[in-house]
Amino acid sequence: MKKLKLWGMLLISLIILPSIVMAKNASITITSSSQIVLGNTVTVTVKLSSNDAIGSWEMQLNYDKNYLQLTSSNAEGGGNYMVGYATGASGVKSKSYTFKFKTLKTGSTKLSISSLLVYDNDMDEMTVSTSNKTVKIITQQQLEDSYSKDNNLKSLSVEGYPLSPEFNKDTLNYSINVPEGTTSIKVDAKANDSKASISGDGTLEVTEGINTINVVVRAENGSEKTYVILVNVIDQNPININIGTLNYTVIKLRNNYSCPDLFIEKDININDFTIPACYNENLNYTLVGLKKEDGTVESYIYNNGKYSKYLETMGTTLKLVILDYNDSLEGLKKYEENIDGHNYQVFKASKNSNNYVVYGINVATGEKNFYNYDSINKTFTLYDNERIEEINNLNKTYLYIIIAFGIGLCLSLICLFKMNKSKNNNNNKEKIVKEEAKDNQKEIKESKKDKKKEKKKKEKQKKEIEENIIKEDINEIKEKVNNDEEQTKEFYDIFEDEKNKKKK
């Protein structure tokens, strides 16, 4: 009985085991930026792949709609649902989908795969492994705050030559000495932070004397730090030139001085040294290279031991050497203007004019002439003297007409002034007469007022006199009455006395 059970289990294992062994695998990966700024678009790629042929698939990309908004998709339905099959008999081994999302709010959100069914080319279900993707959404300020501020160098060296002093990330200035005839050096610099960038390193050209090498480290946040190396190419017998307050050294090596356009190479002798020079037959100029103390090289015209700065101005069609012109130019005034980075003497009709007239030599032909310069379009054209003279003559004619018109206008104004003055005089006379009449009327009115006042005064005085007379008369009458009363009383008294006597 036990043997039968063992044989049965063996048969079942033989049936099931091949299917387990033969099961095929596939994987799904989700890739995108791990960090994105709020409001920006993030691109998400979903890739189905297998070492075996894939026949068909069905899957869905899950995302949080509070954080992400789907804006585009190449999935079959245009959304986040992916379903497809292999068109060829051999199937496919990979399939990719691209989704674009707009970020809606800050925070971390996860993308994942669900509704997963993948079949091989024989329509057997495959075993699929998946991975999730977390995207962190931050603000622009948070992004900038996260940038590295490290702008230090980890190492700095010049191949074959020791730096003085020894390198230190906090020391910014160094120097080296290299032998005479050295034309290039190799600077090696490594940033302390892998996110920082470096400029100014590598193989660099040098010339006799002091050369300034600037190695600039730019941190991820944009801050910069500059390390300076002064490379002194030793010149055992330098030719030093003083021009004004500046010190120069004559370039002795052809590799260190290139000729401008329209000049040919030529060697000359200065202080018993063969010096690389440049020559233009049209100008009859010989140029040499002079190096300043900061290492920059400039072209100077060399003539019998004398040096003068060579400046050429490039227009769209002509290349000129602008010269000073001591005489005046009819109809124009002298000014100083900046052309191509240098100040030159120019002639203009007015201070604010954008068109200049300059005197110079055409580098290509050697012709000296006046040229018009359009400062807006930066173009030179030959100055047309005859046309300018015609314009000046026309301007003179206009000026004479204006002067004649001005004289006539002045005469007219003088006549009007005299007429107006005469009219004003008559008006003044009439005004004086009116004023006098007015004054007379005023005097008459005042005289009448005075007479009225005098009359009123006299009448008042007369009235006061009459009142006084009346008062005196009344007083006299009163006195008379009083006297009469007294006499009457005396009479009655006498009468009473007489009466009383008779009675007795």
pLDDT digits (tens, 9 = 90+) for 197-250: 999 999 999 887 888 999 999 999 999 999 999 999 888 888 888 988 888 989
**Same domain for 56 and 86:** yes
pLDDT at 2: 42
Looking at residue 143, what is its pLDDT?
A: 86
Pairing type for strands 273-280 and 264-270 reads antiparallel
Residue 207 has a pLDDT of: 83
User: Per mean pLDDT, which range of 19-28, 123-132, 211-220, 321-330 is the poorest?
Assistant: 19-28
116 Cβ contact list (under 8 Å, min separation 6):
28, 58, 59, 128, 130
- Based on the fold, state whether residues 203 and 249 are members of the same structural domain: no
pLDDT band at 106 (very low <50, low <70, confident <90, very high): very high
| 43 inside domain | yes
Mean pLDDT of 289-309: 89
173-178/224-233 β-pairing:
parallel
Asked whether the predicted pLDDT for residue 336 surpasses 80, the reply is: yes
Asked if residues 153 and 180 have their Cβ atoms less than 8 Å apart, the reply is no
Question: Using CA atoms, how far apart are residues 213 and 182, in angstroms rounded to an integer?
Answer: 15
Return the pLDDT at 117.
92
Residue-wise pLDDT tens digits, 52-63: 999 999 999 999
Least confident of 119-133, 269-283, 317-331: 317-331
Name residue 34's amino acid. S
Specify if 158 maps to a domain: yes
Residues 264 and 279 both lie in one domain: yes
Structure tokens at 152: 């230090």
> Mean pLDDT throughout 402-420?
81
Do 221 and 257 fall within a single domain? no
pLDDT value at position 213? Answer: 94
Q: Give me the domain span that covers residue 69.
A: 23-143
**Residue 213 located in a structural domain:** yes
Residues 302, 309: Cα–Cα separation, whole Å: 9
At 4 the pLDDT is: 44
Residue 341 lies inside a defined structural domain of this protein: yes
Strands (E), 315-397: 319-323, 333-339, 342-348, 355-362, 368-374, 379-382
Task: Considering only residues 137 and 208, tell me which one the structure prediction assigns the higher pLDDT.
Answer: 137
- The pLDDT, as a whole number, for residue 427 is 65
* Poorest-pLDDT segment among 86-90, 291-295, 425-429: 425-429
Higher pLDDT, 177 or 436: 177
Least confident of 70-74, 82-86, 267-271, 464-468: 464-468
Please report, for residues 227, 427, 440, 448, the alpha-carbon distance to residue 436 in angstroms, rounded to integers and kept in the order given: 99, 14, 6, 18
- Report the pLDDT value the prediction gives residue 17, as an integer from 0 to 100: 45
Predicted pLDDT of residue 360: 87
- Provide the CB-side half-sphere exposure for 221 (13 A, CA): 15
14-28, 252-266, 341-355: which range is least confident on average?
Answer: 14-28
32 shares its domain with 127 = yes
Residue 18: pLDDT band by 50, 70, 90 thresholds? very low
Give the number of other Cβ atoms within 10 Å of residue 301's Cβ.
17
Count of structural domains, the chain: 5
Across all residues in the chain, what is the average pLDDT?
A: 83
Residues 57, 139, single domain; the answer is: yes
Locate 118 and state its tokens. 């993948």
Q: What is the pLDDT of residue 504?
A: 47
Give the residue, 164 or 416, on which the prediction is more confident: 164
Q: Mean pLDDT throughout 300-306? A: 92
Does some domain include residue 318? yes
Q: How confident is the model at residue 163 (pLDDT cuts 50, 70, 90)?
A: very high
- Exposure string of 238-272, with b = 16+ CB inside 10 Å and e = fewer, is bbebeeeeeebbbbbbeebbebeebbeeeeeeeee
Whether 291 and 323 map to the same domain: the answer is no
Q: Are residues 67 and 136 in the same domain?
A: yes
| Identity of the highest mean pLDDT range in 145-149, 186-190, 329-333 | 186-190
450-494 tens-digit pLDDT: 777 777 777 777 777 777 777 776 777 777 667 666 665 665 565
Q: Which of 323-332, 359-368, 472-481 has the lowest mean pLDDT?
A: 472-481
Residues 250 and 241: beta-carbon distance below 8 Å: yes
Q: Are residues 319 and 304 in the same domain?
A: no
Of 274, 309, 344, the domain-final residue:
309
The mean per-residue pLDDT over the stretch 141-161 comes to 92
CB 150 within 8 A of CB 192: yes
Q: Please state, in angstroms and rounded to a whole number, the distance separating the CA atoms of residues 280 and 257.
A: 16
User: What pLDDT was estimated at residue 466?
Assistant: 72
On whether both 109 and 205 belong to a single domain, the answer is: no
pLDDT for position 426: 64
The verdict on residue 368 lying in a domain is yes
Higher local confidence (pLDDT), 451 or 17: 451
In a domain, 422, yes or no: no
Q: Please tell me the predicted confidence (pLDDT) of residue 401.
A: 85
- One domain, residues 196 and 292: no
Residue 448 forms part of a structural domain: no
Domain final position from 143, 161, 193? 143
pLDDT at 315: 66
Domain boundary among 260, 278, 309: 309
pLDDT at 1: 47
Quick one: 297 and 323 in the same domain?
Answer: no
Task: Specify the pLDDT at position 195.
Answer: 92
Q: What is the pLDDT of residue 497?
A: 61
In the numeric block, which tokens belong to residue 351?
């201070």
What are the structure tokens assigned to 383, written together? 């100055």
Residue 5 has pLDDT above 50, yes or no: no
CA atoms of 472 and 264, how far apart (whole Å): 146
Asked if residue 391 has pLDDT above 60, the reply is: no
Tell me, what's the pLDDT at 134? 96
Check: CB of residue 196 under 8 Å from CB of residue 220. yes
